[in-house]
Amino acid sequence: MASTLSILATFTIIRSTFNDFVPKEIRDYLWSFIRRFSSEFTLVIEESHDGSSNHIFQATMEYLGSHVLSASAAEGSPKRLTVGKSEKVRKFTFGLDRHSEIVDIFHGVPLKWKYNADVNTNTNNQQKSESRWYELSFQKNHVEMVKSKYIPHIINTAKKLKDRNRIVKFHTVRRERWSSSAVNLDHPMTFDTLALDGDLKKTIMEDLDSFINGKEYYKKIGKVWKRGYLLYGPPGTGKSSLIAAMANHLNFDIYNLNLSAVNSDSSLEYLLLHVSNRSILVIEDIDCTVKLQNRDAGDTTASYPHVQVTLSGLLNAIDGLLSCCGDERIIVFTTNYKDKIDPALLRAGRMDKHICLSYSTASTFKQLAANYLGISNHNLFSRIEKIIEEINVSPAEVAGELMKSKDPKTCLEGLIELLESKASEATSKPEEGKGGNNTKQEKGCKSKGSNTTNSDSPDHNAITFLTVGPDPMIVREYTVKAELAPILKAVLLKHGDIVTDCSLNSTQCRSSLLEIACGIIQKLQAAKLEDLTEPELRSMLASVSDLESLKLRVSWLRKRLDQIIEALQLVKQCSALEEDKRKIVQEIEEMQKELGSCRMETLEKEKKTLRIQEMEAVIGTISESISSNEARLSCFYERSLVDGLLCL
């Protein structure tokens, strides 16, 4: 390739000297003469084609613009480049100056570009116009390759470059239409500055990248190239920040749809159909901006008198958007209360991925400290990391403290004060604490591995625990009777999300199954071994088997019930042995009385004495069995029947 370049460079120098001394008319004649014997072929790409702008010309400009600067160091490269920047793009754009040339090597083939521009003067009215064109020259035998590979490559690369360089816009609704004056999205949040727990960031970025690179895949499976995300979690945990990071990562415009500003279902449909490609449609706080009452929860539309858009209207509009026109579109819903949203909105195909943004953990605190204070360690860290895992504090609150001063120590001390005040608040109001304000383990989300149809939730080990009223309560996303909530919380902590693989998908059904499991645990918790009967335990066991057949991970509960039934049988065995022992003792006593009477013959006496000895030996064996059974049962008497089953 180097030799090709140096030949071309020498050629270019000779040619520019030649141009300086020979008049243009003679040059043109000579060139046309030489071309007749040359094996070189030239394609001319003019700025306009058939009276309208030529897409290949625009693509070439974009494509060469990205190459010229990096190629400018090479020998023989043009000495002059143009540079500019328009409002629509983020970076400078470079280009060839008129009459300059550059060589591009594609699949080992040198392809020579020349940029030309001429000013045309109309002699009658003195108007000037400029015609611009590129000349692409290469060996004749590469014509097919240029046509089928190189030009498509230029068009694709140019599109990617253009998408990457465009300024992201933020669109809002005005008078039920998208405002014509979208503003630039100057949000600085990126995936580098967003603090997320565990692998969540990586998971989201991979999902976005596979979506954006999935054109062919979507085509192959016959699915429209769109993706829906539900972002849920307490206020200040970064839902809006994540949307900004997504837009900056993909260079997608944001269409922010405030549903309370939309007066009818038909306006909503219009708006959704007029969202451009490569965009993110955002509907924030979906649970309170529309009559999206969860039908199962039995909400009534009367609670939302100001709202005009209906659930069916939204479902229709989303399906319209998802099923026709346009590509590369993302829809994002956000909510603080996932359970308030009708499951129809959340099903796979509408919301493909459910992402929980949760309270700060030690890991998110460290990321925020690195971002805001530029430190990765400090002697106050360990104290903060310990308290932060115990209480609920949003990343927004942590960020607020870290911004208060430039001095890390001052910020960290302020944060410790905030965390400690939250911790003491939680201890002094335990009932409110349960409501999700500050208590431990309320960090947010479902645990690993939920690969159900519509919710492949990312890893999270923490639990959301929000009060929605005195009864029921929400633990993570599951709604259960308030009295069962502490049990569910303890179960989830000890055994993880036991409904992850459940064959029922809706949160409502899953909550009901969890209630059954927790109800059994509650009974066991309240009872002593001797209060329980075998039929009662067998009926609990049958329920647990049913739960297992629905793929609830409750084998630990089944094992415990088996152990309790076995213990109950031991208790029965013990009382039967005690009865036997009592009878034998009674018999021995009677025989001893008889032995005391002097009327008995000697032989008879010997026989009875032998018999008593045998019976005493049996009593010894029975007593041994009883004590070994009692030893086995002692653990059931000394501790609760659910001991070890829960994380208490």
Ligand X SMILES: Nc1ncnc2c1ncn2[C@@H]1O[C@H](COP(=O)(O)OP(=O)(O)OP(=O)(O)O)[C@@H](O)[C@H]1O
195 lies in the binding site for ligand X (CB under 6 A): yes
Between CA 80 and CA 572 the distance in angstroms is 100
Contact (Cβ atoms closer than 8 angstroms) between residue 384 and residue 412: yes
CB of 441 to ligand X, least distance (A): 19
Strands 109-121 vs 101-106: parallel, antiparallel or unpaired: antiparallel
**Does residue 402 touch ligand X according to CB under 6 A?**
no
Nearer to ligand X, 71 or 332 (CB): 332
CB closer to ligand X, 240 vs 454:
240
Q: Which is nearer to ligand X, 84 or 235 (CB)?
A: 235
Nearest in space to 238 (alpha carbons), one of 63, 154, 364: 364
Look up tokens 């465009």; give the residue.
166
> How far apart (Å, rounded) are the C-alpha atoms in residues 193 and 341?
30
Among 116, 336, 363, 543, binds ligand X (CB under 6 A): 336
Q: How many CB atoms lie within 10 A of CB 365?
A: 24
Using the minimum distance from each CB to ligand X, give the nearer residue, 201 or 560: 201
**Among residues 71 and 195, whose Cβ is nearest to ligand X?**
195
Q: DSSP labels for 168-224?
A: PEEEEEETTEE-SSPEE------TTT----TTHHHHHHHHHHHHHT-HHHHHHTT--
Q: Which is nearer to ligand X, 298 or 374 (CB)?
A: 374
354 is a contact residue toward ligand X (CB under 6 A):
no
Q: How far is the CB of 187 from ligand X (least distance, A)?
A: 9
| Residue 121 token pair | 């003067």
Name the residue number minimizing CB distance to ligand X.
238
Minimum separation from the CB atom of position 77 to ligand X (A): 44
187 bridge partner residues:
none
Query: Per CB under 6 A, which of residues 216..245 are in contact with ligand X?
Result: 235-241
Question: Least separation, in Å, of the C-beta of 286 and ligand X?
Answer: 11
Angstrom distances, CA of residue 168 to CA of 89, 162, 182, 618: 9, 12, 10, 91
Residue 99 tokens, joined: 């009459």
State in angstroms the smallest separation of the CB of 243 from ligand X: 8
Of 236 and 444, CB closest to ligand X? 236
How do strand 473-475 and strand 478-480 relate by DSSP bridges? Answer: antiparallel
Task: Between 61 and 196, name the residue whose CB sits nearer to ligand X.
Answer: 196
Neighbours of 174 (CB within 10 A): 11
Residue 336: CB minimum distance to ligand X, A: 5
399 belongs to the binding site for ligand X (CB under 6 A): yes
Q: 251 or 363, CB closer to ligand X?
A: 363
> What are the angstrom distances between the C-alpha of 439 and each of 214, 239, 638?
42, 22, 31
Q: How far is the CB of 239 from ligand X (least distance, A)?
A: 4
How many residues of this chain interact with ligand X, rule: CB under 6 A?
A: 15
Tell me which DSSP letter residue 646 carries: S
Of 9-17, 192-200, 443-451, 613-621: span binding ligand X (CB under 6 A): 192-200
Q: Which stretch binds ligand X (CB under 6 A): 58-66, 194-202, 273-281, 502-510?
A: 194-202
Compute the least distance from the CB of residue 72 to ligand X, in Å.
40
Q: Which is nearer to ligand X, 259 or 399 (CB)?
A: 399
Starting at the earlier edge strand, list the strands of the sheet with 109-121: 40-46, 128-139, 109-121, 101-106
- Nearest approach, Cβ of 236 to ligand X (angstroms)? 5
Tell me the HSE value of 271 on the side-chain side, using a 13 A CA sphere: 29
Identity of residue 200:
L
Instruction: Pick one of 45, 102, 136, 194: the residue that binds ligand X (CB under 6 A).
Output: 194
Residues 431 and 437: their CA atoms lie apart, in Å, by 10
Site string for ligand X, 358-397 (x = CB under 6 A): -------------------------------------xx-
Which spans of this chain sit near ligand X (rule: CB under 6 A)? 194-196, 235-241, 336, 357, 395-396, 399
